[in-house]
Structure 1
């Protein structure tokens, strides 16, 4: 598919208009592009370094990642990850069962990488509808 510059500019203009509608309190319900607050306080600036854990909970899988970002003049990223299945009985079970499973998977992953004794920052991606009311609170 090839689009002319004129068509691309028109698409960008319409997309921006819908994003602005999505940001408006009164226009949000009718916007085709929903814009939700993220409560993110800052964005990366390229000087970040250290070790981190990330959890990604999707529909049928759960992924645990370990990431190391080094900065010796050139930024370098190392990563290890493991995908764990989420059994159907856990998917349909209680929140306690789900988070117990997540904790078991995380413990298994940390044992495997021999990082269980490290205290690491952790990010969690949850790919399901929810309402985030604060940086650390969802309904």
Structure 2
């Protein structure tokens, strides 16, 4: 039931003006109390409207936050999948790196065999001049030196 408070006020005022005796204090008090109750009702209804607005705003905010929470949860799950994938890939990379290091260690542990020849042997084997043989021997000595400097074992034969 909807009360038209303005009509009710006007009715009270009309009754007060036309049907009441100013000397009748009880009736005057009733009219005053009725108006006060109407004022209180209007105030309560305004407060209810304000509360409803506030509740609706809070509900909208809750819906926004819940939507944001769902989006954040999706993003976190996506990041978790990527992290697991990255961990698996890094494990594979580490395995490959360890295998490469092991292969390098194996290669470095091997000894390189380089013939150490004299100038005369080179001249005899090649049939070339002394200058050629000396250049070959110097180059061979230099190669042996550089290979050893790189940390590779050299066996001279």
- TM-score, length basis structure 2: 0.18
Structure (1/2) with the larger strand percentage: 1
Structure (1/2) with the larger helix percentage: 2
- TM-score, length basis structure 1: 0.20
| Structure showing greater Rg | 2
